[in-house]
Amino acid sequence: MIDIRRVFTQVEHIHHEFGPRAQTPLVRGAIAAVLTNPFAGRYEPDILPMMSLLDPVGLEMAHKLHAAMDVPLEQLATYGKGAIVGAAGELEHGALWHVPGGYAMRELLGWKGDRVAYAKGTVDEKKTGQPGNALSIVPSTKKVGAPGTTLDVPLTNINASYVRGQFDAIEVRVPGAPAADEIVFILAMSTGYRVHARVGGLLAENIAKWDGLR
């Protein structure tokens, strides 16, 4: 059921945006796996079996993305994910990526939560201090599109969704994909603040609640 056709990696170093040159550039990266869509061309009621089979795909992509970004793990400050489903598929096929895509980056970043509960969607954690890393919901977008369709993948802080200076998005586009019977599954991460962030709000160093929000 899992058939990876292509892997597309993109890493950006942003030095300035017509303001002062950053001492350390913002690094943003995205990785896109182009898979054959096993459900293309028909309505398949039971698509869930594919979800757990995507776990190893997610892990491979998360590790490949980190390697391509070539920054220490602790500098990965934001994450996001997305999917582009080819024309013979449906949006729901892209939704299969929510759990394995999020799980993969959480594993990479040092999450310490309950995996089974996470997969079932029944997480109910008691928050005391910082319970591991990657506490925030992984923001996402998805669409059905033609080959070369662009997707803006949102990025937010991995531990507190409200870190305003790190709200961002990266445009991802794989030339030639997805074909009608393909799906593009995407992971994205960055080293944090927009290059000239200056609209206030919660700073990452002031995260205090460890509830994934603040």
Partner 1 sequence: MTANIRKLVVQVDETRKEMGRDIAPPTRRAVAIAVIANPYAGRYSENLDELIAIGEELGALLGQKAVKALGIEPGQAQSYGKAAIVGEGGELEHAAAILHPKLGAPLRVAVEKGAALVPSAKKLGTLGTAIDVPLGHKDAAFVRSHFDAIEARVSDAPRAGEIVVAVAVTDSGRPLPRIGGLQAGEIKGEDGLR
Q: Provide the binding-site residues for partner 1, judged by CB under 8 A.
A: 3-18, 25, 68, 150, 171, 173-175
Q: Of 3 and 92, which CB lies nearer to partner 1 in the complex structure? A: 3
**Shortest Cβ 45–partner 1 spacing (Å):** 26
Q: Write the CA distances from 41 to 26, 44, 94, 133, integer angstroms.
A: 41, 9, 15, 40
Indicate the residue among 11 and 119 with the shorter CB distance to partner 1. Answer: 11
Round to whole Å and give the CA distance between 212 and 24: 26
- Select 89 or 147, whichever has its Cβ closest to partner 1: 147
Q: Which residues are registered as beta bridge partners of 36?
A: 182
Residue 165 Cβ vs partner 1, minimum distance, rounded to whole Å: 19
CA 79/CA 106 separation, integer angstroms: 9
Give min distance, CB of 150 to partner 1, in A. Answer: 7
b/e per residue 133-148 (b: at least 16 CB within 10 A): bbbbebbbbbebbebe
Our CB check for partner 1 shows the closer of 130 and 150 to be 150
Nearest distance from C-beta of residue 109 to partner 1, angstroms: 22
